[in-house]
Amino acid sequence: MPNGYNGKILHVDLTKRLLTIEEPSEAFYRKYMGGSAMGMYYILREMPRGADPVGPDNVLTLMTGVTTGASISGQSRINANAKSPISGGIGDSQGGGFFPAELKFADIDGLVIKGRADKPVYLWIKDGKFELRDAAHLMGKKTGEVEDILKEEIGDKKIEILQHGPAAEKGVLFSSLVSMANRNNGRTGMGLVMASKNLKAVVVRGSKKPTVADRNALIALSKTGPKLLPDNPDMPGLAEEGTATVVLSQNTIGSLPTRNYSEGQFEHCEDISGARMVETVLKERDTCYACIVRCKRVVEIKEGAYKVDPRYGGAEYETLGTFGSYCGVNDLAAINLANQMCNEYAVDTIAAGATIAFAMECFENGIITTEQTNGLELNFGNADAMIKALDMMLTAEGEFGKTLGMGSERASKVWGKASEDYLVTVKGAESPAHMPHAKRSLGLIYAVNPFGADHQSSEHDPYYEEGVADLNLNRLKLLGLDVPQPERSLSPEKVRFAYLTELFYSMLDSVELCQFVYGPAWTLYGPAETVQMINAVTGWDVTVDELQVVGARRLNLFRVFNNREGMGRKDDKLPKKFFKALKGEGPTAGIALTHNEIESAKDEYYKLAGWTKEGVPTQQTLENLDIAWAI
Ligand code: SF4
């Protein structure tokens, strides 16, 4: 019997309504470990080249990892992968909560979904049994309503539901998958892919806890969590204030995107900070299965213009950034309402907020007027207009709403060439609220990452800059990194930092571990404890080096997929706006990226990765990683 996982992958062919179980070998699980590395194994084999992202040939994988469901913090994660309708390259997103662990308890490790049902269905999985059920009555309903209907219908309040929302049914490109009505597999349009298959939801319930190889070792490690937390420089803030805790530190280093990435400091940053949320609108903290950190927010606002229902959670840092400083808005209630609306309709808050900020900059510069916006005075700082624009986007109201729902890159094609100057997208993905002007190596990762600008694909620069805390540097040494670099450098050593930490993060998105609990530097547990945890659960004898290879496999499989779809170095491109000096105040005012530094960093990065100058993995690289089959 395997430890940690069930050894069962459920294949769902919606066209044929055929559901079959595959039982891969232990060697297969150890090689890919779950998540997106495992998903890519199926996607590359089963999806034809050039498949329509919203056609039946697209293959959607939902994979947990080999430790999901174990009784320790930070293991309840699930990865969604498919061809992205946004970029035409690979799509990738992670989500947490209780759904991932419950899928494991239901005796399934992951799903490979293809085809298209002839009418809306949902997939019901309970304790190793599964069936497709009619979902016509769920269509058009908000995520919370779908939760209520299914709990009533199935007669079990403890079922977990992963669903696409009404935005996907209206064709919003950056639609997400939502569980608990407030946890998202947010990025790259995975909700639209699931909707295109006429699969409304995956609903799970199980009673089978995965076996653990060394229970005592897992309990011992688990008990260190509460002791490690208070002495870690970063964890108490995350626990108390959630991810919003970084609003002020981001502002201090000039990395809080303000007015659509025109400035790095927001004059009203205190109003949208984690501390202000705790003082004013926070109802309680929430968590994911078995996690002691409890970083999730629950916000309730009963009075005023913007009322917020606690079932939809509360704004994360990225949401405070994109609907806050990005839009020049400092109204916490409006931002939390925007968060609620995104969760009700199931869309990525980064893409939604950033697209509205892009529209605001176009409006301020006369590229669009009230004629296009349906009368909305879409100036920076106008919270009412922001909420109305979001409503139009989510319901695809009128031409303006439909255009916003395509994301900023496609909206720019509608509004004309002059608007391109205001884009902050890479491979169609709007940039998160961390600025490459302050975090240079993150700029490189935004460029080369296979699914576009992403802030959770490598460690952030301040953790490898002079003055970094001992805890962080001691952990980075385990990856071979021990020469912190000057602030804002993009030296070859910084590129090495970006690449090696990217491999570690890539492994985390395969084993499916939360990047706030396990990581190469600042998290609750570092690389040594990550190894201990995986070994305690599985009974294997993995090392940091073996985990880095798992990370490299995922990254190379992504790259092979993109190359197959015609993507390469030409697509590893940052937006023009990043090369224009920032305005405003603070340490990044007047700072721009340069083409030379980014192009040299790309050369250096491709060399480290074993790729050609065009960004294509060599045959030798794939053979070294034992994935030559992917050629
Ligand atoms: S740290 Fe936060 S996001 Fe990560 S598992 Fe714990 S509660 Fe969930």
Both 313 and 419 in one domain: the answer is yes
Query: Residue 1: its pLDDT value, please?
Result: 65
What angle is formed at CA 377 by the lines to CA 372 and CA 383, rounded to 5 degrees?
A: 125
Domain final position from 205, 224, 256: 205
Contacts of 498 (CB under 8 A, 6+ apart): 441, 442, 444, 445, 458, 459, 605
Q: Are 92 and 537 in contact (CB under 8 A)?
A: no
Distance (Å, rounded) from C-alpha 508 to C-alpha 498?
Answer: 15
Is any atom of ligand 1 closer than 6 Å to the C-beta of 74? yes
Cα 548 to middle of ligand 1, angstroms:
23
φ, ψ of residue 381 to 5 degrees: the values are: 90, -10
Handedness of CA 180, 181, 185, 190 (dihedral sign): positive
Specify if 374 maps to a domain.
yes
What pairs with residue 19 in β-bridges? 12
> At residue 127, what is the residue type?
D
- Reported as half-sphere exposure (CB side, CA atoms, 13 A), residue 290 has a value of 24
Which residues in 109-196 belong to E strands, given as ranges?
Answer: 110-114, 121-126, 129-134, 160-164, 177-179, 183-185
pLDDT of residue 499: 98
Dump strand ranges (E) for 96-248.
Answer: 110-114, 121-126, 129-134, 160-164, 177-179, 183-185, 199-205
Dist. CA 517 → ligand 1 center (Å): 7
Among residues 401, 430, 459, which one ends one of the domains? Answer: 430
CATH number at residue 63: 3.60.9.10
Q: Is 291 in the pocket of ligand 1 (CB under 6 A)?
A: yes
Expressed as residue numbers, the domain containing 480 is: 440-573+594-630
**Shared domain check, 263 and 170:** no
Predicted TM-score (pTM) above 0.75:
yes
Residues 419 and 457 in one domain: no
Domain count, the chain: 3
The number of C-alpha atoms within 13 Å of 214 and in the hemisphere containing its C-beta is: 14
Regarding whether 220 and 166 lie in a shared domain, the answer is no
pLDDT digits (tens, 9 = 90+) for 87-101: 999 999 999 999 999
pLDDT beneath 70: ranges in the chain: 1
* 166 three-state secondary structure: helix
Cα 344 to ligand 1 centroid, rounded to whole Å: 21
Residue 359 Cβ inside 6 Å of ligand 1? The answer reads no
From residue 622, alpha-carbon distances to 26, 450, 502, 548 in Å are: 21, 17, 18, 14
235: which residues sit within 8 A by CB, 6+ positions away? 228, 229, 293, 523, 524
Cβ–ligand 1 contact at 313 (below 6 Å): no
Q: How far apart are CA 340 and CA 334, in angstroms?
A: 10
The response to whether residue 72 sits with its C-beta less than 6 Å from ligand 1 reads: no
Does any domain span residue 170?
yes
Alpha-carbon distance of 103 to 107, in angstroms, equals 7
**343 in a domain, yes or no?**
yes
426 & 472 share domain: no
Residues 277 and 189 in one domain: no
What number of other Cβ atoms are within 10 A of residue 467's Cβ?
7
What is the CATH classification number for the domain harbouring 397?
1.10.569.10
pLDDT score recorded for residue 491: 97
- Amino acid found at 580: K
Q: Which residues pair with 112 in a beta bridge?
A: 11, 61
User: For residue 288, which atom of ligand 1 is closest to its CA?
Assistant: 8
Task: Confirm or reject: Cβ of 607 under 6 Å from ligand 1.
Answer: no
Question: Of 177, 205, 233, which residue sits at a domain end?
Answer: 205
Q: Write the residue with the smallest CA distance to atom 5 of ligand 1.
A: 74
Could you read off the pLDDT of 474-526 as tens digits, one per residue?
Answer: 999 999 999 999 999 999 999 999 999 999 999 999 999 999 999 999 999 99
Mean pLDDT of all residues belonging to the chain: 98
Looking at 189-310, which runs of residues are DSSP E strands? Answer: 199-205, 282-286, 296-299
Task: Name the nearest CA neighbour of 354 among 242, 265, 458, 257.
Answer: 257
Q: What is the CATH number of the domain that holds 506?
A: 1.10.599.10
CA distance 442 to 588: 15
Do 142 and 347 contact (CB within 8 A), yes or no? no
Residues 421 and 470 in one domain: no
Write the residue with the smallest CA distance to atom 2 of ligand 1: 295
CB-ligand 1 contact for 516 (6 Å cutoff)? yes
Atom of ligand 1 at shortest range from CA of 96: 8
Does residue 287's CB lie within 6 angstroms of at least one atom of ligand 1? yes
Interior CA angle at 242 toward 333 and 33, to 5°? 130
User: Does residue 175 share a domain with residue 116?
Assistant: yes
**CB of residue 522 inside a 6 A radius of ligand 1:** no
Q: Is 98 in the pocket of ligand 1 (CB under 6 A)?
A: no
Residue 65 included in any domain: yes
**Does residue 580 fall inside a structural domain?**
no
CB 284 within 8 A of CB 182: no
Cα 103 from Cα 84, distance rounded (Å): 24
Place of tokens 């916000």: 299
Please provide the size of the chain in residues: 631
Q: How far is the CA of 433 from the centre of ligand 1 (A)?
A: 19
pLDDT score of 549: 98
The response to whether residue 239 sits with its C-beta less than 6 Å from ligand 1 reads no
Q: Report the pLDDT value the prediction gives residue 365, as an integer from 0 to 100.
A: 98
Tell me, yes or no, whether 77 lies in a domain. yes
**Distance (Å, whole) CA 504 – CA 308:** 37
